[in-house]
Amino acid sequence: MVLEIRVGHTPDADDAFMFYAIENELIPMGDFKIIHQVDDIEKLNKQAINHEIEITAISAHALAFLKDYKILNSGGSFGINYGPILISYKKSLDDISSNIVGIPGYMTSAYLLMSIALGKLNCIEMLFSEIPKAIIKGTVDYGLVIHESQVTYPKHDFNKLFDLGEWWNEKTNGLPVPLGINVASSKLMNNSKIKAFDSLLQNSIRYGLNHLEDAMEFSTKYGRGTEKSTLTKFVKMYVNEYTVDMGKDGKEAISRMFEMAREKGIINSNPPLNYSY
């Protein structure tokens, strides 16, 4: 019996790359019929609170606001000594506490990591792709950028002032930076189906890695005009060994992030972390 499920992911090249084989049914689909829902990560974070989608990408930080979910081992976005960065026309972070920071969402891992590293700041939430434009217009003084803006920011003469990935690497002795994960609603799917989808997504990611050129061509539809070579660089950064399977280090990184947030008084307690296997 075919099971129709909705799967949420972001309009970004790395997510498109991961779902290339699934969306085009280039691998055995098992019993699944996938309805793709493509939305900004913060919108997906908020939809997950009410279990609106069977499977969805979320920020790892969003786990602090959710319950009754299983974390998939595949499809995660982990930086390896790199991650979200703070950019500005300013030369330093000296006056950041008295200025405004554009952020991609209060539930994003980028925001949580920044808060752990730098404390509470004056922030404005906006669509991640609008942050560089907001700096140019003067709406914000600093921008916390994710996705391809981590690679393209020099084109606008911004200064890179703080790399959360490098900071995290030093603080954790080399753990990967926990940013995005995929979760399955335990209210909408049983455990066996969740494990089956986890395997399907893992196979899709491997297929993309084995057919890099075709998968990248497909992924450019979410490139927002970015050159293919730049998108390829970005995808290779965030579709890595931890994306295929986050493994022990990926799970430890997620736990460590919440421990650090609790120690700083940002959250009251560590959220339960239930994995598909």
Known binding positions for substrate: 109-110
Q: Name the catalytic one among 9, 36, 61, 147.
A: 147
Instruction: Enter the tokens of residue 113.
Output: 């990591």
Binding-site entries: 109-110
What pairs with residue 87 in β-bridges?
A: 143, 160
What pairs with residue 180 in β-bridges?
A: 59, 77
C-beta atoms surrounding 31 within 10 Å: 13
Residue with tokens 């421990």: 259
147 is catalytic: yes
* Helix-helix angle 164-172:109-118, to 10 degrees: 70
Q: Is 44 helix (H, G, I), strand (E, B) or coil?
A: helix
Task: Decide: 140 and 124 in contact? Cβ < 8 Å.
Answer: yes
Task: Decide: 191 and 70 in contact? Cβ < 8 Å.
Answer: yes
How far apart, in whole angstroms, are the C-alpha atoms of residue 247 and residue 260?
Answer: 20
How far apart, in whole angstroms, are the C-alpha atoms of residue 142 and residue 134?
Answer: 9
The set of catalytic residues is: 147
